[in-house]
Structure 1
């Protein structure tokens, strides 16, 4: 099991939180009383939700004790509990929430048809499901790590290589067309400006590299990171002022359930 580090994750808090802000801004709903933040992490997204829906009760869930502890400090007015979204969403109560929100979490959870339907079932009639997930399969950093993990040097070091559980956009369309009353899909590519190639490594130590580093000894961690870094330098050119453009595509959708007044 991957052990998450809230401090590492929050080294890029502004950049990581912007998609949550953008998604919350597109979540149009009045009189919100109950909000669920699925995969709340260190509470940065929960803070966004508390600001977006003043007066609402924000309930954040995550499977990481470290993240839950950080969330309680970062959003003290929220309620935070350990919960595995892959298996325990049903325990939260059918029809209990006006908004079910998830920022950069579902890529870690298998079986998205089951997951999306489970999240929709938590909504009250007229409620909104709002989801953002990284969709960076074609970006250099993703390809670099994938090639190294599958290559001869490192293949034997990882019994269970990381799997992206995301569907393709068209598959989400078909899923939501079947399961929701209405929905909207969109994708945004963020152009993060980072100070150096080393900053890309720092970013990914908090997310994409973490499952691999967790499986390695200290000496192997250093060697694996050195191999990743060499390719990062080769594939991310510097701009004229020495900084790096770090592209990060993210996929969004919102979905609504039937409202009794419309029936």
Structure 2
């Protein structure tokens, strides 16, 4: 079963999800790029920041979710495209495509198990002296993910979710070494944000819009409710609310900004 993204649920924490994009973009020092691409643009609210920063550039947002692109089309000044970024990265000798001056991917590559091997192809789409910047979550050993995985391994859920998409990432040094070996200048770092959330089950609300969504959608109606009830209860234990109903959720993210060498095709 292919999961379907819900733009409204994703945007429930738009400010928290958007801050890493802004922090990533702050390290991209392009001045007057002509072509800017956002891979995995989601509902387009962050892609709009690219158009605002570089108003003379041709800005394109690409996402594999028709639902996300439908929501993004409300943002003006950007070209939107439904496409798999793996197809976009694939060399195409027939259709000559303009090199990209700034290529951005925010919280997307973690959904591709082979994304480390994909980085050279993505970099190949970038113009000499152009910029390739991406951010991926690095919190997959936190309870927000491990609890879901533990429940999903048990009967009666396992047979339904065995093949669902599960996000994963590498360490900052892994990305840095690969891009350094390709001749890039690399700035890689990590940040742990402390998100202060409120509501009855705020951590469940967060993960059910992103990392846990494929699992929840793959379960039949008769099992999904039981899974969610247990998941919510264990998340409440792992992330207890204080006396004022606030939950602090640590969220580690990994950032990489690479500037491509001059005149080198990778």
TM-score range, shorter chain: over 0.9
In structure 1, the partner of 2:215 is: 212
1:33 equivalent in alignment to 2:34: yes
With 11-20 and 150-159 compared, the bigger mean Cα shift is at: 150-159
In structure 2, the partner of 1:100 is: 103
Shift of 1:7: 1.1
In structure 1, the partner of 2:15 is: 14
Stretches of structure 1 lacking an aligned partner (at least 5 in a row): none
In structure 2, the partner of 1:228 is: 231
In structure 2, the partner of 1:117 is: 120
Q: Deviations over 1:69-107 (max 9, x none)?
A: 11111x211001111012332358566111000000000
1:77 equivalent in alignment to 2:80: no
Question: Structure 1 residues 250, 197: CA separation in 2 closer, same or farther (over 3 Å shift)?
Answer: farther
Shift of 1:185: 0.5
Separation (CA, whole Å) in 1 of partners of 2:180 and 2:162: 37
Q: Report the structure, 1 or 2, having the larger helix content.
A: 1
Question: TM-score, normalized by length of structure 2?
Answer: 0.91
Indicate if the aligned counterparts of 1:149 and 1:161 stay in contact, CA closer than 8 A.
Answer: no
In structure 1, the partner of 2:25 is: 24
Shift of 1:162: 3.4
Stretches of structure 2 lacking an aligned partner (at least 5 in a row): none
In structure 2, the partner of 1:177 is: 180
In structure 1, the partner of 2:261 is: 258
Shift of 1:29: 1.1
1:55 equivalent in alignment to 2:56: yes
Separation (CA, whole Å) in 2 of partners of 1:113 and 1:132: 13
Note the aligned Cα RMSD (angstroms): 1.7
- Number of residue-to-residue matches in the alignment: 259
With 111-120 and 75-84 compared, the bigger mean Cα shift is at: 111-120
With 93-102 and 54-63 compared, the bigger mean Cα shift is at: 93-102
Shift of 1:158: 1.4
Q: Deviations over 1:20-50 (max 9, x none)?
A: 1111111111111210000000002201211
With 199-208 and 86-95 compared, the bigger mean Cα shift is at: 86-95
Separation (CA, whole Å) in 2 of partners of 1:153 and 1:241: 37
Separation (CA, whole Å) in 2 of partners of 1:23 and 1:187: 11
Shift of 1:61: 0.5
Shift of 1:194: 0.6
